[in-house]
């Protein structure tokens, strides 16, 4: 009887322990199910998809920047976004260096006719520059009375920009002679020099049309870059191409060709009097070169004190410092539609002063 009693007690305890284990397992499974269920509704982390998207060739940081700006209705700080676009593309690659800054200078004109079409041509240029890989700074220069309307337009572009103005008055004759535009370019270069905006400076007229590949090649120059420009005259149905003649990417001279009648001027190693301001770019550091002020005698102050004339002179001094764009200068990547000036194949125009 004692043995029978002992076996019954042991069996009861075993059943009780098994029941407790089963209850614990059921409770554990239930908790795991509930946690998993609610975890499925939690938002995923941004860090989970950003690297994968970039590495797989999906949306990069520049796309995110533009999407953020569009979603915010232009209320996003453009400077910070541009810095993030540069830094974000280099994350995960210690050897990657940020792209050089492109400083695109656009001058305007204060005549009534030009003021009427300013909004249209500025909008067209803005849409072009929005397609360029950042960082890019658009410097727009205009007369003080024309500021309010342009300021509203520039704020809506989504671009980093500097809006520069001046109070100097110019007569219609001065404007026609290009003096106002020359002054505007000096205003822009003075701003770049004062604020040490380190990058490549390009003068983009409101009548200019660009191949987007041009901007990528522009970032590959060291000191100076030059390229052929095709100028189209609507009224006279002329197309004149002027620019550097190159051997590989080295500039060997300059040429001019009128494609409307097939005539051309042979490339010459003789330096032209001035280089077309719309046909070259330069590293902004030349503006604060410590040797700048000692390069010319005191009898020629304009060549050092007039920033625009100084840069035009320096780019022509040594061809070895000028890189042809594209590499053999055989492709036109910049066009200009000129509705005002007439051209002849034998004459050289003023350096872009009539261009919008």
The tens digit of pLDDT for each residue in 262-301 reads 666 656 667 788 888 999 999 999 999 888 877 765 556 5
Residue 158 falls in which region: left (phi positive, over 0), alpha (psi -120 to 50) or beta:
left
pLDDT at 19: 67
Of the pLDDT bands very low, low, confident and very high (cuts 50, 70, 90), residue 238 is: confident
Which secondary-structure segment (H or E) carries 241? Answer: strand 238-247
250 by DSSP, 3-state: which? strand
**80-89: which pairs have CB atoms within 8 A and are 24 or more residues apart?**
82/134, 82/135, 82/136, 82/160, 83/135, 85/61, 85/134, 85/135, 86/134, 86/135, 88/60, 88/61, 88/64, 89/60, 89/61, 89/62
pLDDT at 337: 81
Check: CB of residue 156 under 8 Å from CB of residue 74. Answer: yes
pLDDT at 10: 52
By mean pLDDT, which of 46-60, 84-98, 172-186 is the weakest? 46-60
pLDDT tens-digit readout, 153-196: 999 999 999 999 999 988 888 888 889 999 999 999 999 999 99
Check: CB of residue 161 under 8 Å from CB of residue 154. Answer: yes
Query: Rounded to whole angstroms, how far apart are CA atoms 8 and 218?
Result: 94
User: 320 pLDDT exceeds 80?
Assistant: yes
User: 342 pLDDT exceeds 60?
Assistant: no
By mean pLDDT, which of 132-146, 218-232, 237-251 is the weakest? 237-251
pLDDT at 218: 95
Query: Rounded to whole angstroms, how far apart are CA atoms 225 and 283?
Result: 9
* CATH annotation of 102-338: 3.90.550.10
User: 339 pLDDT exceeds 60?
Assistant: no
Show the DSSP H helices in the chain as ranges. Answer: 2-39, 46-55, 61-72, 78-90, 112-130, 147-155, 172-176, 179-194, 213-218, 302-305, 307-317
Check: CB of residue 123 under 8 Å from CB of residue 153. Answer: yes
**pTM of full prediction above 0.85:** no
What does R_g of the chain's alpha carbons equal in angstroms? Answer: 32
pLDDT at 161: 97
Mean pLDDT of the 239-267 span? 82
């Amino acid at each position: 009887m004692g043995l029978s009693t002992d076996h019954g007690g042991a069996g009861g305890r075993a059943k009780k322990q098994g029941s407790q284990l089963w209850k614990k397992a059921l409770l554990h499974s239930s908790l795991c199910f509930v946690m998993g269920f609610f975890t499925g509704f939690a938002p995923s982390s941004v860090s989970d998809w950003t690297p994968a998207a970039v590495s797989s060739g999906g949306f990069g940081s520049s796309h995110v920047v533009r999407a953020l700006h569009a979603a915010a209705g232009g209320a996003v700080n453009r400077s910070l976004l541009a810095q993030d676009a540069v830094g974000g593309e280099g994350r995960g690659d210690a050897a990657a260096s940020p792209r050089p800054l492109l400083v695109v200078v656009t001058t305007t004109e204060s005549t009534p006719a030009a003021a009427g079409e300013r909004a249209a041509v500025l909008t067209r240029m803005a849409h072009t520059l929005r397609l360029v890989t950042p960082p890019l700074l658009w410097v727009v220069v205009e007369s003080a009375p024309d500021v309010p309307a342009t300021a509203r337009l520039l704020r809506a572009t989504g671009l980093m920009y500097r809006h520069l103005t001046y109070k100097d008055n110019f007569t219609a004759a001065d404007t026609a002679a290009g003096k106002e535009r020359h002054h505007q370019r000096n205003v822009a270069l003075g701003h770049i020099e004062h604020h040490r905006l380190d990058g490549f400076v390009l003068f983009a007229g409101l009548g200019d049309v660009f191949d987007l590949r041009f901007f990528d090649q522009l970032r590959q120059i060291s000191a100076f870059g030059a390229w052929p420009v095709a100028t189209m005259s609507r009224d006279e149905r002329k197309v004149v191409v002027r620019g550097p003649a190159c051997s590989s990417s080295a500039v060997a001279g300059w040429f001019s060709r009128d494609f409307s009648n097939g005539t051309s001027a042979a490339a010459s190693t003789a330096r032209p009097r001035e280089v077309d301001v719309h046909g070259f770019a330069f590293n902004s550091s030349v503006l604060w070169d410590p040797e700048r002020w000692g390069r010319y005698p005191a009898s020629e102050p304009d060549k050092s004190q007039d920033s625009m004339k100084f840069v035009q002179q320096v780019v022509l001094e040594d061809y070895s410092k000028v890189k042809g764009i594209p590499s053999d200068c055989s492709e036109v990547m910049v066009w200009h539609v000129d509705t005002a000036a007439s051209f002849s194949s034998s004459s050289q125009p003023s350096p872009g002063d009539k261009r919008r």
